[in-house]
Amino acid sequence: MLSNALRTIWFQPRATIRRLLDETTLSTTLILIMLGSVIGAFFNFAMPDEDMQNFIASGWIWFVILIVTPIFSLVGAAISAGLYMLFARMMKGTGSYRDTLRTIGFAALPSIIPGAILAIVISIVMGSQLFQNPEFNTPTQDLVLGFSSLIMVISYIWSFVVLVQGMRVVHNLSGWRAFFTVVLPSIIVTVIIVFFILLLLIPLFFIMAS
């Protein structure tokens, strides 16, 4: 079923999600969440800047990608599912927390196959330069990284579409209600984070100015 879903999720997201809800287990969903997070972490580290070099020198990159990231992705997915559930209820949604969490896993499907293929290509092309300072990349390496970034941006955009469509299916929402169910929690969390950062930075600014 998953092999077929990796294809149909691009063309029939709602129908695919309905089938996945009926034919997959929660453990399968959790695996999808972790796989998606591993791929995302790989691409974050594959395109570092100079400020990351001290961390990269520690040699813990693969440990972070393969161990730390999946653990935090499950925690993040659990919290996100709760927020989506809350806003879905505000939008008169009727789905369960379990199916909301599973939908987050289904949303990772568009990035898994292209991400895995591109990760292998990048690893081969970059060689010893993988996770290193981009100033020393060759033009070919930069071209591969740029092309891979474009493909992954497209896959992540479609993952967002799948997530919205999943909320429509799980909570029986209209398209716009499902859209705001996904977007509003992200906006509110971002505003809260920025607010607390400003609370920390503004006093520091006055201290440094004085």
Residue range 135-169, pLDDT digits in tens: 777 788 889 888 999 999 999 999 999 999 999 99
Quick check: is 190 in a domain? Answer: no
Pairwise CA distance, residues 106 & 27, whole Å: 12
Domain that holds residue 6: 2-182
Quick check: is 187 in a domain? Answer: no
- Structural domains of the chain, count: 1
Cβ partners under 8 Å of residue 139, min gap 6: none
The C-alpha angle with vertex 42 and arms to 41 and 44, in degrees rounded to 5, equals: 60
To the nearest 10°, report the CA torsion of 39, 7, 185, 175: 170
Task: Supply the pTM of this predicted model.
Answer: 0.85
Tell me how far the alpha carbon of residue 122 is from its chain's centroid: 19
How crowded is residue 65: how many other Cβ atoms within 10 Å of its Cβ? 22
pLDDT over 60 (residue 57): no
Quick check: is 170 in a domain? Answer: yes
Pairwise CA distance, residues 178 & 155, whole Å: 20
Quick check: is 93 in a domain? Answer: yes
Pairwise CA distance, residues 192 & 48, whole Å: 27
For 23-35, what is each residue's pLDDT tens digit? 888 999 999 999 9
Model confidence band, residue 45 (pLDDT cutoffs 50, 70, 90) = confident
Quick check: is 102 in a domain? Answer: yes
Q: Which helix (H) or strand (E) element contains residue 172? A: none
Quick check: is 194 in a domain? Answer: no
Quick check: is 195 in a domain? Answer: no
Residue 147 confidence (pLDDT): 92
Quick check: is 204 in a domain? Answer: no
